Chain A
Amino acid sequence: MRRFKVFGRLVKDSVDTITHGSKKYHIWMAVLTFVMLVGMYCYSIQLEEGLSVTGMTDRVSWGLYISNFTFLVGVAAAAVMLVMPTYVLKDIDFKQAVLIGEGLAVAALIMCLAFVIADMGGPSVLWHMIPGIGVFNFPNSMLTWDVIVLNGYLFLNISIPFYILFRRYQGKTPNPKVYIPGALLSVFWAVAIHLVTAFLYQGLQARPFWNNALLGPRFLASAFAAGPALIIIVLAIIRTYTSFKIEDKTLKKIAMVVTVAAQINLIMLISELFKEFYAPTHHSESAYYLFFGLDGKTALLPWIWTAIVLNVLATVILTFHKLRNNFRVLFFACFILFVGIWIEKGFGLIVPGFIPGPYGKIAEYTPTGIEIGVTLGIWAMGAFVFTILAKTAIRIEIGKLRYSKNKND
């Protein structure tokens, strides 16, 4: 009974925390709410009219939604790069970052699920997918694997930080015996969510652009670059605007992770490019379309070359210690790396899979305003969720939010 009482108080205190803040905080939340409302309005149009309001067609049947979903799975998976050193290797430097990383994972996963639902033709019959009352085509369909790993990962990433914060809230120390097994499991689980998501595409013999063995490993490398890059930026913002102490050492260690991952990602890109262009076959057409355009259709060209330039530039900057240890340069490099990978793992990966079509038809895809509106709305939702989680977690971590039996003080 006492636990429920404490929990009730925690919820109350959290609501208190997230509804109070500086002017900047309120403006930030108001802007997010506004974008979310616009997104919901766009989604209501899509529900009413059908997916025809998007730029997707029978020729290119997945677009912006699935691109963002794919990318965000990677961001979610990246939290593990912080979890492992902190909980398992007991590296104290990461302890400050890990709760933020897990909060980011939760926000990213919620966005993933939102993007999948936004992409569905019939969200009202989604219960068909619930095991037990629906028909769950496990293990044949990789999509069912994805449903399992994503929801499992979401559960892990909610329960572990919740346990830790709940203990801290009561002024107790979390028991490592309780959370270490969960943390260990989440390490493997994070790799699984990204590999399974890659297998979703990799397993399709119909789409040679995706049907290559490097897709999974490359997903992991780019995820472990983009995710921690985002965490660095977020930590920098938190450091500036709150009294939460994040040491330089922590940022530098995460930057090291980003650097190695970005380098591996580049090596894999070179390997991929070599295979596609040294001895091009019929199956290299999608890559040709992506990098050089086919038949005068060049919609993706500016995007992918921007992504490559950003990726290479960021990797070069990160590789030099002098540049990486200068925080301004580091934040800039992380930002351009994040954008570069968002393009590359987003529509740079999904759209060319469909172009040219099974019979060589080249029909291009351009997202519509409504599609972009829904996408922005979901991103705003992610930022909103993350802000709430981070604000509460930080207040508990710095000891401002504590359970007190008499609530009148």
Chain B
Amino acid sequence: MKYFLKRVIGTIPVLLGVVLLIFVMLRIIPGNPVVILLGEHYDQATIDRLTDLMGYDQPILLQFVNYVKGALVGDLGVSYKYSRPVTEMIMEALPYTIRLALMAVVFAWGLGLITGIIAAVKKNNFIDRMFMGVSLLGVSMPIFMTSLLLQYIFAFKLGWLPMTEEGTFASMILPAIALGWNSAGSVARMTRSSLIEVMQADYIDTARAKGLRKGAVIIGHALKNSLLPVVTMMALQLSSMLSGAVITESVFAIPGIGRLATTAINNRDMPVLQGTVLFTTVIVIAGNLLADFLYSVLDPRIRKGD
């Protein structure tokens, strides 16, 4: 328990550091949000008035302190472009991102684990080669290509599934597969190699020698021990998916966190960008903590070693 408390406290400087970094970086890059807001229709008087109103010309340290103060009570500021509270915008986008991430993860882990286990059991025969070949395709195919291909074939040409997000389960299938495809490949390959390694250990022979069936040995002994590295990867995958899938969300018109962030970058909408980065940081840190936690559950030596 003490170990986790220490880990959680350790994340505070990381969070502050990230906020400070994004704060400074956003102000170094050129692009006055007021000018972007006005587009082709701008004049000096309006630019000056709005710049003043946004507090964009205040000392950066003051802006930073005010921001951290607000963030502590859940107030992430107001969007320059949309004049709406950033917390509200993130909360609106979050359900879409969670839904997409969970479906993608179920798809990726389900497919990845199954093919990984089968490939390990059928090591070096045809099925193994085929599965690993396909998973290599999964790992190496860029996500925008997967997205466009899936959309073109299954939604546009065949018409089996909706083209864009409509709130229905069916409309989330293609985006989930597109987003989970890479992860499925990684999980499959990692599961296979890890399981093969464990299967060569002496205690597996012992388990077999005492009369256990091969299936029971795999499920009861080998799988649990081989999952350690796979679980770490899964936790990180989950947190990266929850931080928003920029391309998938764009192609399938899903109003999630990733789209919020990209729109904010283009508009130099600092409050929204800071909000989404802070949110993503929290998610990634939580993912790491979860991975550590699962590690210690699966392998108590880590806990004791502390």
Q: Is B one of A's binding partners?
A: no
- Chain A residues proximal to chain B, CB less than 8 Å: none
